Structures are given as structure tokens and as C-alpha cells.
Amino acid sequence: MGFFKRYASRINVVEYTCSPVLEGWLVIGIGTVFALIFIVAGIAKGLSNPVFIWMPALLLGSGFAFGIYYVKFRRKPLKREVTLGGWYHRLWLRSKWRFIATGLAISFVAVTIGWTIGELVFEGYDAFTKDFADWLRGWFIWLIVCTFGVMRQYITFYQYYRSPEYRRSLTKNNDNATHV
């Protein structure tokens, strides 16, 4: 119990405000990358069913509209919370690329395990073995969601360290250090 108590005491949840522009560019960038992947896959496979064209186009189009709204029209700052002191935060401080790779791996494994358990419980083993190969072919939808989640967490830490709240905490700590 002592180790967990020591670890939990270092975790700190901080609220801060940030501009919505960076998150808007994130949505537009991820949407562009996956739209290009979808277009290349569609050309290579020759998708003849229109549902495979308009459904992702609707999803990506709404994402682009959301990103454009954040970049061009929303001026009210966003309120965010960030958890400092945990292993995920320390990984972000040490290596940004390792943070992204670890976050993507954890997200994709969690989605796969969740889908597997749900399929086994509700459909049974026979349906699981039949549907697993089909599910792996549709992995790109989950990859979009996982990538957006990890990159949003990345920019959450990035924006916190550039926020006025972080700068105020630095000056407050410096003032406390000089008055001791």
C-alpha cells in the first residue's frame, strides 16, 4: 500500500485554457491522411458498392467541417484538464515518439481485446473465428479513432506547457523558493 500511496500522491490534475486552433489542425491533418489512404485503397480495390464510398466520405467530411470550425470560427478558448505525474506524462516528457508509438499500441490492443471479449460473450467462439478476419480488414476505422485519441493527448500535454497557467505555476514556485 505504501508504494501505491507514494505514486498516487505525485499525480496532479491541472485545469488550463488553450486555443482551439491546434486541435482543429489536428482533425484536418488526420482526416487528410486517412482520406488519402482511403482513396488509394479504393482505387486499388475498385470499390463498386457506393456505401463504401459515401459513408467514409460523410465521416471525413464532417471531421473536416469540425476542424475548419475550430481553426477559423471558434475564438473562445477551450478548457482542458491534464494529469501530471503519471507514467504517461513521464513518457511524454522523455520521448515524444515513444509516447505516440506506445499510445497507439495500447489503444489498438485495448480495442482488439474489447472486441474479442464482446464477440466471445455475445456471439460465441464459432462466430468469433469467422468474424475476426473480417474485422481485421476493417482496422482502418479503429486506427483513425486510436490515432486521434493519442494525438489529442499529445497536444494536451503540448498545450499545457505553453499555457499561462503553467507559466504562473513556474513564477509561483520561483517566488516561493526566493522567500524561503
Cell numbers placing 2: 505504501
127 or 85: which leads in pLDDT: 85
**Average pLDDT, integer, range 65-85:** 89
Q: What is the pLDDT of residue 37?
A: 79
Cell reading at 56: 467514409
DSSP structure string for 103-144? HHHHHHHHHHHHHHHHHHHHT-HHHHHHHHHHHHHTHHHHHH
CB contact burial 19-42 (16+ within 10 A = b; e otherwise): bbebbbebbbebbeebbeebeeee
What lies within 8 Å, CB to CB, of 149 at 6+ separation is 103, 107
**pLDDT value, residue 60:** 83
Instruction: Tell me the CA distances in angstroms from 102 to 40, 92, 114, one per residue in order.
Output: 27, 10, 18
**pLDDT tens figures, 123-162:** 777 777 777 777 766 666 777 788 888 999 999 999 999 8
Q: What is the pLDDT of residues 90-129, one digit of tens each?
A: 999 999 999 999 999 998 888 888 878 887 888 777 777 7
Query: Over the stretch 2-52, which tens digit does the pLDDT of each residue have?
Result: 555 555 567 788 888 888 999 999 999 988 888 887 777 777 777 666 666
Distance, in Å, from the CA atom of 27 to the CA atom of 68, rounded to the nearest integer, reads: 9
